[in-house]
Structure 1
């Protein structure tokens, strides 16, 4: 039912001298129910001498909270002294002029029937006119018993349930007018001229034109337009003649805002997808194993939009801004320059060599280029020319190409091919520092073929072996530096502290303590400080694997100090070492508590 018709029903309801029921206005989230109350119903009631009182039930978990929210609403509607029991409101005002509106019924964290029971004290016992704004669809998703109780209580309290519907064009134009009526008429005019393209986005999303009046989410559009306002201002203040581009940027902002709000899985894809043109080919032909595939699927859905004409230009600067709130102008300028210079395509693959394009929009290669690129990539794998993670990516794509019958590698050569990749992986691993974290990269890499899965497991095992070797090598180096270049020892350990490397797990306690006794007092103090500071940081608990080594260092240190304790005079170095052992006690206690 349209807003004007609903307003007439409300007028008829409040004009009745006595009523013992409430009215419910029902529709999904973002349909504009609260906006309708705030901007149409409440002003209309005020003009006619009524006191409109809005009460949100979002998050309430007890009758006491409902009562408190009711009192707050009443105090905003009419002047009331603090501490008033809202159930005594009839002692202070003419309740025939009071209209209560309970919003967000489905968002309450308590049984709806208890809310109905409380509000019935106003509705039936005091005949106060009451409205409920509700998304019943969310209540109907609850357990059978809850739905049954809700239906029983609703039958007693709610006299009419009115489905809230608005013509999308009218709803959007009214919202834009309200949002920007006091400032920025230029931006308001820009948006009002593009109401139809905005609506078309939602028509495409639900693929059912008959249901559009029930499914356009005004709240999502409102947030999107607010975010885009900043982009609009920055572009107009920085660039000339950007109207065609701004049209696409507006649609991209709304699309991404909707997905970010309702699909958390899209975050990583938005972060990792570079600025480029996306068309139907990306969704159909790009390997689904790529982490960014989800974004291609989302964007491809809208390429049939009248304004987009078969492709949509994704700008990483805008995607990142919608995720973080930080619009990096240098990146936006690069994206826009690319957009303007490449005519109808933001794809960075233009003029890129076929071997690189093989792992992006490979379908735009000529047949000969595709075959030649496959051969050249394979030769580079055999010559060990790539970085470690490149081999997994190449294997993944080759498996996809084979599945699509685009490769003519015989299956009997699978073992030889796997061995070739393993040899290249071995060579690549030897040249890296395995103490760096590769876990996030590997966890985000999800192969779908058995060969690449085997290679991923092989890489994980090889990295684990290399990590142990590299940790041990760094620990041995530190022990030597402690003796030969203690100043450099301090610098190195501060660096390892920043990287959270559990380096002391690999230190030889005996060698380490023996070298401590050979330091002068200045160096000993600096070494003590860097070690103690290592375990004072907020992430000290990440070093729990080092506890055993620290205990061994402390015990051996105390053992040597005990042997040398045969004089009445304590050397300053001995005092410093004893203090160091005490510090180690505190460190061990701290990180052992985890």
Structure 2
């Protein structure tokens, strides 16, 4: 049933005098029933001069407690026309709160309101919303009996929110429901009308709010496409978009809409249990899905019989494709930074910005064009003039360091071959000098890629001279990598000394699952720094250290940290043994850090990859 229809039925209900039935609003968990009450029906009731009360039944175990909770909710509405007992009890409670007397505060509400019952109220201008009927610990027959007494004998207008499939229907549920409930309304969230209300949460972030309003139709279509009506998931999704929004500056609409779609399906899959936080760097094959994957998928399914298809164990990526991308594969692109953020909570904006840049058509420079044209097995098809020009130009570009450090493997491979077969006049020694000169320049850009290096080292070489170049490139790669790690370690030490706890927390968050934080840290310098910092910073450092390694399989990712942590613990233990007269609580804080290091090292060892 549409929300507009429910609003009309509810309006008719509150306008009808002396009703003797309740309305049941029935819908799945998280579909927005409570939100609809609070932001739509409650307003309609108040506009009609009704006092509204919201009461969750979740966890209530006795009718007496329910009666008591409802009474407490009624207190703010007590007027001069109400029963004298109620007025006196309320005055008594006010005195207790004002005087803050231990005698008054120790008195239970049941004693204060002894002899007072909700039966003394005039409910003619009240509407009560009872939420979470299925989560109430009182037998549902008793709860509905309690509500029936109010609606039938006190004419209380009542709306009940429930997910009926979860209700225990034994012991005459249907019979008592028929007696109490006059309207059983199936609630279905209207995404289009609800989204602007959800967008209001971001009204203080003007740019993002304007973005949401501009993309409302796109977001609505995506949520409808995947039948998503769970407000908790939708809110998580919008929070995700807000976090990644700063990376949207000056990018094309097509890529923004890619991110809107991608963020939605990853959020839905994560919140429905398809991914876990531990999968933050395990893409499970969904990073290779594209239109080409679609063609392979169709080919596989066509070749198999229906029986074979049912019995086959499908890869996760294929199931994911069938669930989300059967009609959307042309609009799908995998963004690793967003995937990792949704699963882990850590967002690398620079990484996302670089991923977006790569979506734009590549502008190929002349040196790269020449490289690709020449250093290919089809060089034999080039004219003599083109070959002469290209070999001269590529060698010059290589000497000037215009290529990636990894490109020099291919340059060595081909130019050694050209020289050996007298296709060029340069000797092997000439080529070696050009490669070394070029690498000296190229490495100054400090551009490295672990995966590219891994692929280079994976394959063997027919020419041992090429292997020598590979070894040199690996050394350059590791040298740059070490500089990065050392810089990050120095950043940590500088922060401990000169920054507050919030900056320290940001550094730990930035390197949440990264080996760069401790792998090249000077343990002696780190301890010297720790010995000088304030108690507050020492406490914060220990807590952040503990949180960094608390997940169950952390050893699979950060086992290399144990070297630094072991050395730090040893140095700290030696220091504590030699300095027994350290003042408290500083001595206690050092001991806590020592214990944290010991437990962390043990946990890393226990959870390392075997």
TM-score (structure 1 length as normaliser)? 0.50
Distance in 1 between residues matched to 2:65 and 2:295, nearest whole Å: 52
Q: Which runs of 5+ in 2 are unaligned?
A: 80-86, 94-108, 301-313, 364-371, 377-454, 462-466, 468-551, 558-562, 582-589, 603-610
Does 2:346 align with 1:271?
Answer: no
Q: Would the aligned equivalents of 2:286 and 2:334 in 1 still touch at CA under 8 Å? A: yes
Selected match of 1:187 from 193, 208, 211: 208
Q: 1:50: which partner in 2?
A: 50
1:195-233 per-position Cα deviation (integer Å, ceiling 9, x unaligned): 44334434543xxxxxx5xx633442233113312322x
Does the C-alpha gap of structure 1 residues 266 and 491 become closer, same or farther in structure 2, counting only changes over 3 Å?
Answer: closer
| CA distance 1:259–1:63, shift in 2 (3 Å) | farther
Distance 2:345 2:568 in 1: 36
Provide, for residues 101-123 of structure 1, a one-character-per-residue CA deviation record: whole Å limited to 9, x for no partner.
Answer: 11122233443233223333422
Moved more, 124-133 or 193-202: 193-202
Q: Which residue of 2 aligns with 1:131?
A: 159
The answer to whether the aligner puts 1:303 opposite 2:325 as a matched pair is: yes
Q: Give the distance between the partners of 2:220 and 2:339, measured in 1 at CA.
A: 21
Q: Say whether the 8 Å CA contact 2:290–2:329 is kept in structure 1.
A: no
Q: Please say if 1:7 is aligned against 2:7.
A: yes
Identify the residue that residue 246 of structure 1 maps to in structure 2: 256
The residue aligned with 2:271 is 261
**Cα displacement (A) at 1:318:** 1.5
> 1-side partners of 2:205 and 2:553: how far apart?
44
Counting only pairs closer than 5 Å after superposition, residues 190-589 of structure 1 correspond to structure 2 as 190-205=211-226, 216-232=229-245, 234-236=246-248, 239-263=249-273, 265-273=275-283, 276=287, 278-279=289-290, 282=293, 294=316, 297-298=319-320, 301-304=323-326, 310-340=330-360, 494=569, 537=595
Query: CA–CA distance in 2 between the matches of 1:47 and 1:11?
Result: 10
User: Counterpart of 2:19 in 1: which secondary structure?
Assistant: coil
Cα distance in 2, alignment partners of residues 165 and 60 from structure 1? 27
Counterpart Cα distance in 2 of 1:76 and 1:282:
63
**Equivalents in 1 of 2:555, 2:577: separation in Å?**
41
How far apart, in 1, do the equivalents of 2:166 and 2:181 lie?
A: 18
For 2:115 and 2:325, the matched residues in 1 are separated by 54
Higher mean alpha-carbon deviation, 249-258 vs 147-156, is at 147-156
Maintained 8 Å contact 2:286/2:320: no
Q: CA deviation at 1:164?
A: 1.9
Structure 1 residues 301 and 192: CA distance shift in structure 2, 3 A: farther
Tell me whether 1:150 sits opposite 2:173 in the alignment. Answer: yes
Distance (whole Å) between structure 1 residues aligned to residue 332 and residue 115 of structure 2: 55
Distance 1:495 1:4, change over 3 A: same
What whole-Å deviation, never above 9, does each CA across 1:514-564 have from its counterpart, x for those lacking one? Answer: xxxxxxxx99966999xx9799726878999xxxxxxxxxxxxxxxxxxxx
Per-residue deviation, 1:295 = 5.9
Deviation at 1:34, TM superposition (A): 1.8
Deviation at 1:331, TM superposition (A): 2.4
- 1:21-43 C-alpha deviation (Å, 9 max, x unpaired): 21101122333322221122111
1:160 pairs, out of 183, 208, 229, with: 183
Corresponding residue for 1:456?
none
Whether the aligned pair in 1 keeps the contact of 2:218 and 2:257 (CA below 8 Å) is no
CA distance in 2, matches of 1:235, 1:10: 44
- Answer whether contact 1:275 1:315 (CA < 8 A) is retained: no
User: For residue 124 of structure 2, what is the aligned residue in structure 1?
Assistant: 96
Kindly indicate whether the alpha-carbon contact (under 8 Å) linking 1:67 and 1:86 is maintained by their aligned counterparts in 2: no
Given that residues 304 and 310 in structure 1 are in contact (C-alpha distance below 8 angstroms), is that contact kept between their aligned partners in structure 2? no
Count of aligned pairs between the two proteins: 373
Query: Matches of residues 4-83 of structure 1 in structure 2 within 5 Å?
Result: 4-75=4-75, 81=90, 83=109
Q: CA deviation at 1:55?
A: 1.4
- Alpha carbons of structure 1 residues 49 and 442: separation in structure 2 relative to 1, 3 Å: closer
Deviation at 1:96, TM superposition (A): 0.4
Bigger Cα displacement from structure 2, 58-67 vs 329-338: 58-67
Unpaired runs of 5+ residues, structure 1, are: 206-211, 344-350, 355-373, 386-438, 445-473, 475-489, 499-521, 545-594
Separation of aligned partners in 1, 2:335 and 2:222: 18
TM-score under structure 2 length normalisation: 0.49
Tell me: higher relative CO, structure 1 or 2? Use CA pairs within 8 A at least 6 residues apart.
2
Q: CA deviation at 1:50?
A: 0.6
Q: Verify the 8 A CA contact 2:59 2:135 in the aligned structure 1.
A: yes
**CA apart distance, 1:254:** 1.9
**How far does residue 160 in structure 1 lie from its aligned partner after superposition?**
1.8
Cα deviation for residue 252 of structure 1 reads 1.9
Note the alpha carbon deviations across 1:248-276, whole angstroms, 9 max, x for none.
22222222222222216443334323995
1:411-468 Cα distance to aligned partner (Å, 9 max, x none): xxxxxxxxxxxxxxxxxxxxxxxxxxxx959999xxxxxxxxxxxxxxxxxxxxxxxx
Map of 1:172 onto structure 2:
195
Instruction: Sort the Cα spacing of 1:323 and 1:73 in 2 relative to 1 into closer, same or farther, 3 A.
Output: farther
Aligned-pair CA distance for 1:67: 3.8
The alpha-carbon deviation at position 129 of structure 1 amounts to 1.1
Paired with 1:202 and 1:277, the residues of 2 have a C-alpha distance of: 24
Q: C-alpha deviations, 1:378-426, integer Å up to 9, x for none? A: 979xxxx9xxxxxxxxxxxxxxxxxxxxxxxxxxxxxxxxxxxxxxxxx
- Deviation for aligned residue 1:323: 2.9
Q: Distance in 1 between matches of 2:51 and 2:151?
A: 16
